[in-house]
Amino acid sequence: MTPVAFASGQLDAFLATAASTGERGLPAFPADLPDPLRLGSYRITAAEAARIGERVRQVGFAVVDVAEEPTEQHLTLLAARLGLGDPFVPPIYRRPGTVAVAHSGVSTLTATADGIAHPAVSAGGQGLHVDGLLQPIGTVRTSVLLCAQPAAKGGVSTLFNATAAFWHLAGADPQAAETLMGSAVLTRTANVNGSTDRAAGPAFAVVDGQLLTRYSRDGNDTWTAAPGRDAALERALDAMEALAEPGSPFAARLTLAAGHGLIFANSRLCHGRTPYQDDPTAPRRMLRGLFTQDAA
């Protein structure tokens, strides 16, 4: 993957090229989000895999519904049938700590009894982010989340169609949009498993002809404008924050029930979660896998 480096004034050229080739990425979310795809099992057929892959390509995500409590093996089987390959485990999750990854490459996410503050293992809310925060933009192409047990209250998944919102911003304020493609505009800092590693890079970049994102607003993001571009960056961040608000055509909220699975384009959408309350006898439990391939 080779991100295209953008200097001042090059956004117009890219927009013209995108218009001529038709590569505009995802559209805004549809007004009525599609219903979950009902599946007989996680051992999906080729036709079911094609339907899921097409929905991810067209909408950015797909929700599936299987009447069976998911396991790690179910997640890896579903991923294999979707052509995603083996789960990718970022280096920070290979360290011992609060968020563990099984030998299969699948994480089990549930609130810990000691109240660990990290959102992945707490009942607190989680701001918008992409998975694989320290990896180069576009490394984690697809994320899969299977709901084994929903929260008693709350825990709504939030999605932000960041690449579609970027196109909207580029049309309204191209100078602001261009700042988000700066080579070191966004620094992400890890706060899990004892890591404070950092990675700087663009919030949006063109990789192999596709517009991809690592846009994040979850408290682990630091934004730095190029010299003389502070006002443009501030306009960009304000605009993107407004476009991510509920009611925007670029924002969606989903409540995952037991047996629901969320498959989404991690390199084009951002995601988060609202706070939740657990039933102590049946705490919220999610299975997560990260993948470097797009759904087939």
Question: For 158-180, how does the pLDDT look when each residue is reduced to its tens digit (9 = 90+)?
Answer: 999 999 999 999 989 999 999 99
Query: Is this model's pTM higher than 0.85 or not?
Result: yes
In a domain, 182, yes or no: yes
Residue 91: pLDDT band with limits 50, 70, 90: confident
Number of domains in the chain: 1
Question: For 119-149, how does the pLDDT look when each residue is reduced to its tens digit (9 = 90+)?
Answer: 677 888 999 999 998 999 999 999 999 999 9
> Looking at residue 115, what is its pLDDT?
52
In a domain, 272, yes or no: no
Give yes or no for a contact between 130 and 270, defined as CB atoms under 8 angstroms apart. Answer: yes
The span from the CA of 68 to the CA of 78, in Å, is 13
Mean pLDDT of the chain: 90
DSSP per residue, 186-228: EEEE--STT---EEEE-SEEEETTEEEE---BSSSEEE-PPTT
Lowest-pLDDT range, 65-74, 138-147, 185-194? 185-194
> Looking at residue 6, what is its pLDDT?
46
In a domain, 5, yes or no: no
pLDDT, mean of residues 66-74: 96
By the 10 Å C-beta count (0-12 exposed, 13-18 middle, 19+ buried), 140 is classed as buried
The span from the CA of 190 to the CA of 285, in Å, is 23
Domain of 118, in residue numbers: 11-16+33-266
In a domain, 171, yes or no: yes
> Looking at residue 265, what is its pLDDT?
98
In a domain, 21, yes or no: no
The span from the CA of 88 to the CA of 246, in Å, is 31
pLDDT, mean of residues 186-193: 86
3-state secondary structure of 178: helix
Residue 22 has pLDDT above 70, yes or no: no
In a domain, 63, yes or no: yes
In a domain, 205, yes or no: yes
Q: Return the CATH number at 206.
A: 3.60.130.10
Write out the two tokens for 134: 């320290």
